[in-house]
Amino acid sequence: MPARPRLSRARRVADAADVADLRLLARRRAPRMVFDYVDGAAEGERSMARAVEAFDRVEFSPRVLRDVAAAPTAVEILGRRIAMPLVLGPTGFTRMMHREGERAVARAAERAGVPYTLSTMGTTTAADVAAAAPDGWNWFQLYVVRDRARTLETLSLARAAGMDVLVVTVDVPVAGARLRDVRHGLTVPPALRWRSVLQAVRHPAWWFDFLTSEPLRFATVDGAPDDLAGITNLMFDPSVTVADLEWIRSAWQGRLLVKGVQRVDDAKELAAVGVDGVVVSNHGGRQLDRAPTPLELLPHVVAAVGDRTEVFLDGGVRSGADVAAAVALGARACFVGRAYLYGLMAGGEPGVRRVLDLLHAELVRTLQLMGVGGVADLGPDMVRIRER
């Protein structure tokens, strides 16, 4: 019996049926230490697991005999219409996953009609992201560092690149203990030590891309540190308070979101000071283990802040059905990170495009099967989170 022809990587990416398929492809292509940087979380990884598990407990209550021939997914967030309630969230060291890094992600977001958020810890400048996706809605994510002059310079560069939404991440006063990275001895850029040499033999395509592309460096903060946690603890300011947020507000002329909200009272305080949105998030489980589960907290935050500010969800989103559940529970849109990084690792920009195509198709199908004529018709009566 003749052997089956081996499919090319591009074909396998195009044939992926869901994000889980792309995760498997990413694991095969990338060295284990790179894959684990994306796939892992803090300490026992309970926060990450619980965020995903909460979506597993979602139960829909579908209507029948409704006209669902069309199920539009477009929504308005922060005064602008986007193609579906999805934001590609900020991720650090993105060119470590694929040589095109942030440029590839921004182009895929532009094509899909959704925002892309460049991280302070990104490996591409704001100007280069704007050049790669000039018609995209490009946002910038800020970590407040000890050097306030550097923060002002960072904001100026983002504004000069046309970015008009600032996402201030507030759940990283110090670095979380990401034990997979510790065990691998991960550095940025990855160093060819004895363990990584063995991984290079098993993943030659990734290492060829890495060794023949532009050296991996932080584009906003200086240098390429050996110790990932070290730069966080050295540069990021653990003394930041609401007063500092008001200072940032005075220096930033665009919209302002605060990401990392994990308590209702914090959400209420942020709404009171006039931020444009809060992102219910536990940093993908990468900071505090045993943190609140975003999907479970979401309805309480929505009820507490009312119409005073827009509420977004981040954490555990792996499918279009997850997006539908979060929107039904009150989220204006969902941030995703790991999902698109799996696509990027698996196949570069086509991999990210495949993730976005899958999420959109899954969202449309879920709306139709729920008997909903579009995202705007989703409501809390259509979904519940089952007890464990």
Cis peptide before 90 (omega within 30 of 0): no
**Where is average pLDDT lowest: 233-247, 277-291, 299-313, 364-378?**
233-247
Q: How long, in residues, is the chain?
A: 388
The pLDDT value recorded for residue 188 is 62
Q: pLDDT tens, 111-122? A: 999 999 999 989
Residue with tokens 């505090």: 288
pLDDT band at 224 (very low <50, low <70, confident <90, very high): very low
User: What are the start-end ranges of the H helices in the chain?
Assistant: 9-15, 19-29, 32-39, 46-56, 101-112, 126-132, 148-160, 179-184, 194-202, 204-212, 228-235, 242-251, 264-272, 294-305, 320-328, 338-369
pTM: 0.93
Q: pLDDT tens, 133-173? A: 999 999 999 998 888 888 899 999 999 999 999 999 999 88
Q: pLDDT tens, 44-64? A: 999 999 999 999 999 999 999
Say yes or no to pLDDT of 264 above 50. Answer: yes
Say yes or no to pLDDT of 350 above 90. Answer: yes
Active-site positions read 283
How confident is the prediction for the chain on average, in pLDDT?
Answer: 90
Q: pLDDT tens, 201-223? A: 677 777 777 777 777 777 776 55
**Where is average pLDDT lowest: 22-36, 179-193, 303-317?**
179-193
